[in-house]
Structure 1
Amino acid sequence: MLYFEDLTPGRRFETASHTLTQDEIISFARQFDPQPFHTDPEAAKTSVFDGLAASGWHTSSLTMRLITASELKNVANGLIGMGIKDMRWPQPTRVGDTLRATIEVLAQKASGSKPGFGVVQLRWTTLNQHDEIAMQLETSIWVARRPTEQA
């Protein structure tokens, strides 16, 4: 298990990777972000993306999936998100892009009102196969503190 005390500032985690297919991009977009530059390869050619691009929400969802399969799956009470700030997609994710994520612990603060918990601030960075940033955000998670031994 990973507890609040294990998530110290500067600690980093890495995920496995996933390569996106055209079918995945279109299927996700049809269900959750049905815009032509995500669902229609021909229409996407005349869009600002100059070709089919994955929804930013797809990139974010895939990042969450990668993180829940990483060492962070062992956070004691789960990855309980408290909010997101500064979410950005500096460039589009394309068919054939292989994404992976790095997670850096930025800060931690013990809860004043709930002594068994603390807040950990993380930066998620999703990179493609060229180490270009596809998505980045900062998030705070609610994490259980390590139980004390009973006498």
Structure 2
Amino acid sequence: MGFSFEDLEVGSRAEVGAHTFTAEEIVEFATQYDPQPFHLDEIAARASPFCGLIASGWHTCSVLMGIFVRKMLAGSTSMGSPGIDEIRWLKPVRPGDTLHLFNSVVDKRILSSRADCGIATLLWEGINQNGETVVTVRSKVLFGLRDVDQASSGAAT
């Protein structure tokens, strides 16, 4: 088994993975899910406030989610998420940009309604090749406990 609730350390921060965006994938995603001119067409995008083609914010979040699931949640005791608390798109993501996903554990607790399950608040930061934070996502994730008996005795937090 991969990591479980007990393995999450409040205050920890780790790089999970990275992805480089291409113009082709930006347009492909936008065509299907977010067909705004500055995501679809370089000429139209140049006339926009962004002065060039940019990835949809939903595209950047989808890419980060894919990295998170493949590199961190695969094989873990993850039980899904009750939702996203906050998303901030701080800077545009352009073709050729490489985003590095960093994940921090903000807090965690065992659910009072389920002694076999904990909930953690996680902060994702998408940081580009220039060291600029371009997106942040704050969410909750449910994780199963590896040792329910130990947790109920107060050893896990």
C-alpha deviation, 1:16, in angstroms: 2.2
- Superposition TM-score, scaled by structure 2 size: 0.89
CA RMSD of aligned residues (A): 1.4
C-alpha deviation, 1:18, in angstroms: 1.3
Deviation sequence 1:106-130 (CA, Å, 0-9, x none): 1001011111001111000011101
1:18 paired with 2:19, answer yes
In the alignment, the residues of structure 2 paired with residue 8 and residue 133 of structure 1 have an alpha-carbon distance, to the nearest angstrom, of 23
Deviation sequence 1:14-72 (CA, Å, 0-9, x none): 12211111000000000000010000110000101111010000000000111122233
Residue identity opposite 1:74 in structure 2: G
In the other structure, the counterpart of 2:57 is: 56
In the other structure, the counterpart of 1:136 is: 136
Contact 2:120 2:140 in 1 (8 A): yes
1:35 paired with 2:13, answer no
Deviation sequence 1:124-145 (CA, Å, 0-9, x none): 0011101111210110001101
Identity of aligned residues (%): 38
- Superposition TM-score, scaled by structure 1 size: 0.92
Residue identity opposite 1:46 in structure 2: A
Structure 2: 5+ residue stretches without partners: 150-157
Determine helix, strand or coil for the equivalent of 1:5: helix
Contact 1:121 1:140 in 2 (8 A): yes
Determine helix, strand or coil for the equivalent of 1:118: strand
C-alpha deviation, 1:3, in angstroms: 1.1
Residue identity opposite 1:141 in structure 2: V
Contact 2:115 2:148 in 1 (8 A): no
In the alignment, the residues of structure 2 paired with residue 75 and residue 13 of structure 1 have an alpha-carbon distance, to the nearest angstrom, of 16
Give 1:58-97 correspondences, 5 Å limit.
58-78=59-79, 80-97=80-97
